[in-house]
Amino acid sequence: MLDAYMGEPRAQGPVIDPAAVTSEMFVIDVRPSEEYEAGHFPGAVSFPLAELEDRIEEIPGDAEVVVYCRGELCRLAREAAVLLRERGLDAEAMDEGIVEWRVSREVDLATA
């Protein structure tokens, strides 16, 4: 069942490890705003998935874009990366998210 869920075509595409993210990348948190405010990846901007398509113009066209969400079993980031790639942006999803970072404490989460 998990393979079927994660293998859904709208959830496929390249992923990136959080350790490979650099300050030159445009990092987007696609969770709801309230979740972003409670803690987010350092330097990330909040573009909830429901608003992403309307806000694409805010993303630098030449930027490498990284999106993330709640965790590796959350498809929001993967779906967002697919949408952004369809619009011509270089986008990939992180293979982890807030759930893993809270547990591992390997990412120092910022708060709004």
27 close to 59: Cβ distance less than 8 angstroms: no
Query: Does residue 92 sit in helix, strand or coil?
Result: strand
Half-sphere exposure (CA, 13 Å, Cβ side) for 31?
18
List all residues 6 or more positions away from 88 whose beta carbon is below 8 Å from its beta carbon: 61
**Is 74 a residue of the active site?**
no
> Among residues 28, 30, 52, 69, which one is catalytic?
69
Distance linking the first and last C-alpha atoms of the chain: 36
Residues annotated as catalytic (active site), given as ranges? 69
